[in-house]
C-alpha cells in the first residue's frame, strides 16, 4: 500500500501477530524503513499515521526531506 499525501511514496506492510499488528513503513526512494507495533483493535489508518510520522522523523534525522 502506498501513501503519497506527504509527497513521498511510502509502502506499508501490516502483519497481525497475536493481539498486535506490526506495521512497517518503507520510503520507496531511499529504502529507509521503520517499524511500529500496536493493538489489533486499533484502526489501520491510525497505525499507518504513526508509522509515517516515525519514518518522517527518521528521514529528517538522516538529512532527508520529510
> What are the tens digits of pLDDT across the range 3-61?
555 578 999 999 999 999 999 999 999 999 999 999 999 999 999 999 999 999 999 99
What's the pTM? Answer: 0.83
* Residue 33, strand partner residues: 26
> 11: helix, coil or strand?
strand
- Quote the pLDDT of residue 66: 46
Q: Distance (Å, rounded) from C-alpha 23 to C-alpha 38?
A: 8
Amino acid at each position: 500500500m502506498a501513501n503519497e499525501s506527504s509527497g513521498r511514496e511510502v509502502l506499508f506492510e501490516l502483519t497481525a501477530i497475536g493481539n498486535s499488528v506490526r506495521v512497517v513503513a518503507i520510503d520507496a526512494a531511499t529504502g529507509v524503513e521503520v517499524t511500529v507495533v500496536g493493538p489489533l483493535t486499533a484502526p489501520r489508518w491510525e497505525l499507518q499515521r504513526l508509522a509515517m510520522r516515525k519514518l518522517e522523523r527518521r528521514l529528517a534525522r538522516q538529512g532527508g526531506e520529510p
